[in-house]
Amino acid sequence: MEPLRHYEGIVVPLDRINVDTDQIIPKQFLKRIDRTDFSQYLFYDWRFHRDGDSKSDFILNYPRYKNGKILLTRENFGCGSSREHAVWALRDYGFRVLIAPSYGDIFYNNCFKNGTLPITLDDALVNRLFKEVEEQVGYTLEIDLEKQTIVKLDGEKVPFEIDSFRKKCLLEGLDDISLTLQHEDKIRSHEMKLYPFQRVEVRRP
């Protein structure tokens, strides 16, 4: 998993509350098991008409947000079912940082498992950001994970909180498999005790 330390990008304002995972990635696209090429299905029912044409009134289809990399949204983002595909779709589209007042619990955990940073800010700060994004085309933010700060265009630094273990995983690019393989020697030793006459090999992905 690619480490996340310093990140910068155009902010896309999705001004909706309680966006559930079925809206992020509709159920008909969950049959695929790899984690690539999901960007085309992100917010599919909101982005496209039934004939496949883009809906001009949806935020991701606005030309000014074409290259957006940070998603700004409202409370309880990612609520609903536990589908990990929702994070895959966001990540594949280019959103590696999310900003919202709150998230669905399972979605929030899935973000970290897939190298995505869900930043939590209070409503007042989120409201300010929405106002600033709408007033300026190409509005960008810088994210410094190591210092846990968001750097705004005017130089203001907004701090955010993050669990220290999750921060470490993002900074070092560690997913569940990588974390397990850090204990490879202990795993091999344990397996040798269980199966002393067999060659034990810990397979890397």
Structural domains of the chain ordered from first start: 6-162 (3.20.19.10), 175-205 (no CATH)
In which order are the strands placed within the sheet that holds 97-100? Answer: 117-120, 97-100, 68-73, 6-14, 140-144, 149-151, 157-159
Mean pLDDT, the chain, whole residue set:
89
pLDDT at 182 over 70: no
76-128 pLDDT per residue, tens: 999 999 899 999 999 999 999 999 999 999 999 999 999 999 999 999 999 99
List of residues 6+ apart from 78 with CB closer than 8 A: 19, 20, 21, 24, 86, 103, 104, 106, 107, 108, 111, 118
Q: Find residue 73's DSSP bridge partners.
A: 14
End-to-end CA separation in angstroms for the chain: 12
CA distance linking residue 205 with residue 201, whole number of Å: 13
pLDDT at 200 over 60: no
Tokens, residue 64: 């000014």
Query: CB of 177 within 8 A of CB of 205?
Result: yes
Q: With 0-12 CB in 10 A as exposed, 13-18 as middle and 19+ as buried, what is 132?
A: middle
Q: Which amino acid is at 54?
A: S
What is the pLDDT, as a whole number, of residue 32? 75
Query: pTM (2 decimals)?
Result: 0.86
pLDDT band (50, 70, 90) for residue 183: very low
Q: Which amino acid is at 65?
A: Y
Query: Three-state SS for 102?
Result: coil
For the chain, percent of residues with pLDDT exceeding 90: 78
pLDDT band (50, 70, 90) for residue 134: very high
What is the pLDDT, as a whole number, of residue 203? 57
